[in-house]
Amino acid sequence: MQVSFIVPLYNQLALTRACLGSLRATVPADLAHEIILVDDGSTDDTREFLRDLAPPHVVLLNDRNRGYAASNNRAARVAQGEFLALLNNDLVLAPGWLEPMLAAFRRVPRAGVVGNLQRNATTGALDHAGVVFRDGGYPAHYRDDPAEFAVDGLAEFPAVTAACCLVRREWFLRTGGFDEGYQNGFEDTDLCLRAREDGLLNLVATGSVVRHHISASEGRGTHEFRNARRFLARWGPRTAALEREWILAMAQDRAAAAAREYFRPWHRRLGLGRPALRRAHRLALAAQRRRLAARSGRLRVGIDLLALQAGGANGGIKPFVLGLLAEVGRQRGGEFNFAVFVPAGLRDEVAAILRPGDYCLTPADGIFSVSRRTATGWKPDGTLPAGDPLPARAGLDVLYAPFGRSDLMRPGLPTVSVIVDLLHRDLPAALPVEEVNHRHAWFGQLARDATYFQCNSHHVAARLVTHYPVHPARCFLAYNAVQGRLPAPGALPAGAPEESFFFYPANFWPHKNHETLFVAYRLYALGAASRAWPLVCTGHPDGRMDLLRELRDGLGLKDRIVFLGHVKDDAFAALWSKAGALVFPSLHEGFGMPLLEAMRFGVPVIAADSTALPEVAGDACLAVDARDPRALAEAMRKVAIRTDLKEALVARGHARLAAFSLELEAGRLAHFLAAAARRVTP
């Protein structure tokens, strides 16, 4: 199936009939398609009309009025097409409207939401040629012919209206569809801005022209204020910046006079300036296009991996960041070159992310000095003197800091900083007080100096915004979707049990809560007697692992709890393929990569019900209060003996994986790196 047309309906039967008639008349003959009609609780004769429809029509009936976003999302979930064509029921479609939109996706692989030109059905005036921002970041239709800055029939806009648009179904579902928090308004602009975040382009196919009955849809104006507040809270700073960019571009583009005219308050009061504004926007869009076209040069991305450690001491951040960067290189290698900074001796660890034109520097190369890890945390040790020309010398356009802070940060060098958790604020007891203070100090600096924050989860972004003066518009999300990183299972590591076992892969940090797990495990093992599964713990061997061994022995569980230390990837995969269940009682996680690995290997998941874990696990997890050993023991008992539960968890886990795509996360990172480097609004 190529295209699923989706038309949400709410009354206006006459318009619906006309729309469907024009759709049937204009669908290309050879197009495999379906027409999904979602009735959103119409009170006129619409339902009767729908009763008589046969395939390719698919009819969905909402039990009550659920709104525009929910109706489209419902249809998208049952749709079969590669593309979704989202249509309002007040459209009048003209022959040849679809082909230019489909062609856009063939010509531009990074096309996100593709719209078209829309004319007023009554007057014939152009009503939509794209969406721009004005009046402080508020979306508005661009109503002039964009022909002069369109290239080959495609014009890039920050957003387009969804009254008539095309998107890839897979991306639409992965991004969560329309935000149902809006009520009949702003859903489309929100969706388009998310597409931009994912590194996609929103395009208007100027060869596609349709007519529509303006504001024939009901319920649009009613929720304007609430919708606008939601929209501006999420995107306001960014859309206002987009608006400013155009104004700036305008000034450079001999349109300064017109802009000044418009922004003179008395002109506004007199209602003057609309034509001037339109002209200004037109020129600005053209200027932005030229600027983008002029930036054919590659961007040099400095990547500060100086905190990288051999083996597994870094925890989950290492495989995630290396996997993500390799994917960025694969997707956008033509646009970026990496300059990777690593500790001496670890060049091999990053070899996989290097492509032609990239280079790798270690402190031994002599052009910079580095911090070193002390017992209590990161202490600068002969950091670069202020104003060191390093970034200039290395020709960096943007700095990427996977460990959050970076000694390579410089005024004027845009920086994208990775935030994996806010452990030091949300569970400070798990860290030495010196480390808490140290992290707090550098988070404060980052809040001031970093350009954008890559957050491990919505949970992390929310906590960052809570604890530090960081606006949500500076945060973007990159899930740790590296479940596909592991090689085929090799041999089991020495000491691993042959039978099913509970698996807890986690470094032996206090917040990982091994103690409560041991108490729970003993309760479980006493109850299950000879049928009890053993417990396998992997993780970077350190002093706390020795302590946990002592605690295990004190509980008389020497034969039942196995410590394997850090295991190589193929042995790790072998453990996953043998594990009976993942038990993940961590008290604090910014993400929780083992959950995805368990889902990928068909292993059922028991996890704590707090921090980012519910967001990652969704319904594919038996969630417990991980501080309560009796609850944890009960969960282990159930998963070990109840086949139905185990199968349900595995099936849900398999479905859940669809929400995590490294390709998408990397696209988002690439987008923000480029935006930071080029100093344009993401």
Partner 1 sequence: MIIGLDVSQTCAERAGCAWYADGLSRALIAAGLPRGHAFELYHHFGGWINADTRGGTLIDDPRVSAPLRGLAPDKAREFWREVESGEPLPAKPDVVLSFNFHAPRLPHSRLVYTVHDLAFWMHPAFATDETHLVCQREVLQALARAAGFLFNSQHTRDELELLFPSWLRLTGRPSLVAHGASRFPAPGAPPTPGPAAPWLVVGSLEPRKNHAAALDAYELYHAHSSVRRPLVVAGGAGWKSDAIRARLSALQGRGLTVHTPGYVPDAELAGLYASSFALVCPSWHEGFGLPLVEALTAGLPVLSSDRASLPEVGGDAPVYFAPDQPAALAEAMLALERDPAAHARRAAASLARGGAFSWAATAKSVLEFVERL
Which residues form the interface with partner 1 (CB under 8 A)?
A: 427-430, 510-511, 513, 515-516, 518-519, 522-523, 526, 547, 550-551, 553-556, 587, 625, 627-630
Environment class of 291 (CB within 10 Å of its CB; exposed 0-12, middle 13-18, buried 19+): middle
Residues in the chain: 682
Smallest distance from partner 1 to CB 388, Å = 35
Shortest distance in whole angstroms from residue 518 CB to partner 1:
7
CB closer to partner 1 out of 394 and 519? 519
Burial class, 411, CB count within 10 angstroms (exposed 0-12 / middle 13-18 / buried 19+): exposed
Nearer to partner 1, 59 or 555 (CB): 555
Return the number of the residue (498 or 550) whose C-beta is nearest partner 1. 550
CB of 373 to partner 1, least distance (A): 20
Beta carbons within 8 Å of 378's beta carbon, 6+ residues apart: 307, 371, 405, 438, 442
**CB of 526 vs partner 1, minimal distance in Å:** 6
Looking at the Cβ atoms of 233 and 429, the one nearer to partner 1 is 429
Q: Which residue, 478 or 613, has its beta carbon nearer to partner 1?
A: 613
CB of 555 to partner 1, least distance (A): 6
- 589 or 597: CB nearest partner 1: 589
Spatial distance between the Cα atoms of 261 and 250, rounded to a whole number of angstroms: 12
Q: DSSP labels for 474-531? A: GEEE-----TT---S--PPPTT--SS--EEEE----GGG-HHHHHHHHHHHHHHHGGG
Pair of tokens at residue 424: 């030091």
Which residues neighbour 219 within 8 Å (Cβ) at sequence distance 6 or greater?
Answer: 10, 183, 184
- Select 134 or 560, whichever has its Cβ closest to partner 1: 560
Query: Least Å distance between CB 212 and partner 1?
Result: 54
Indicate the residue among 281 and 588 with the shorter CB distance to partner 1.
Answer: 588
How many angstroms separate the CA atoms of 115 and 507, rounded?
49
Give the phi and the psi of residue 669 in degrees, each rounded to 5: -60, -45
Q: State the nearest-atom distance from the C-beta of 585 to partner 1, in Å.
A: 11
* Long-range contacts of residues 645-653, Cβ cutoff 8 Å, at least 24 apart: 645/604, 646/581, 646/604, 649/604, 649/605, 649/620, 649/621, 649/622, 650/602, 650/603, 650/604, 652/618, 652/619, 652/620, 653/598, 653/599, 653/602, 653/603, 653/604, 653/605, 653/620, 653/621
Determine the Cα–Cα distance for residues 616 and 456; give it in Å rounded to an integer. 10
The first and second tokens of residue 209, run together, are 């022209």
Report which residue type is found at 351: A
Q: Which is nearer to partner 1, 427 or 645 (CB)?
A: 427
Query: What Rg value do the Cα atoms of the chain yield, rounded?
Result: 28
Instruction: Count CB-CB contacts under 10 A for residue 428.
Output: 16
- Rounded to the nearest whole angstrom, what is the least distance from the CB of residue 374 to partner 1 in the complex? 16
CA 247 to chain centre: 29
Assess whether the previous peptide bond of 56 is cis (omega < 30° from 0). yes
**C-beta of residue 464 within 8 angstroms of C-beta of residue 475:** yes
Contacts of 162 (CB under 8 A, 6+ apart): 72, 86, 113, 115, 178, 187, 188, 191
Nearer to partner 1, 510 or 565 (CB): 510
Cα–Cα distance between 598 and 82 in angstroms, integer? 29
C-beta of 17 vs 627, nearer to partner 1: 627
Residue 261 CB coordination number (10 Å): 17
Beta-strand ranges (E) seen in 40-82 are 57-61
Q: Could you give the CA distance from residue 353 to residue 666 in angstroms, rounded to a whole number?
A: 13
* Cβ nearer to partner 1, comparing 531 with 679: 531
Smallest distance, partner 1 to C-beta of residue 636, A: 15
Smallest distance, partner 1 to C-beta of residue 614, A? 17
Least separation in angstroms between residue 511's CB and partner 1 is 7
DSSP secondary structure string for all residues of 636-676? HHHHHH-HHHHHHHHHHHHHHGGG--HHHHHHHHHHHHHHH
**Smallest distance, Å, CB 466 to partner 1?**
16
Least Å from the CB of residue 362 to partner 1: 34
For residues 159 and 548, which CB has a smaller minimum distance to partner 1 in the complex? Answer: 548
Closest C-alpha to 15, from 34, 42, 41, 33: 42
Nearest distance, CB of residue 547 and partner 1, angstroms = 8
- Min dist CB 16 to partner 1, Å, is 53
For partner 1, give the closer residue by CB, 548 or 664. Answer: 548
Q: Which is nearer to partner 1, 520 or 599 (CB)?
A: 520
Distance CA(180)–CA(492), nearest Å, equals 47
- The helix/strand/coil state of 33 is strand
Give, rounded to a whole angstrom, the gap between the first and last alpha carbons of the chain. 33
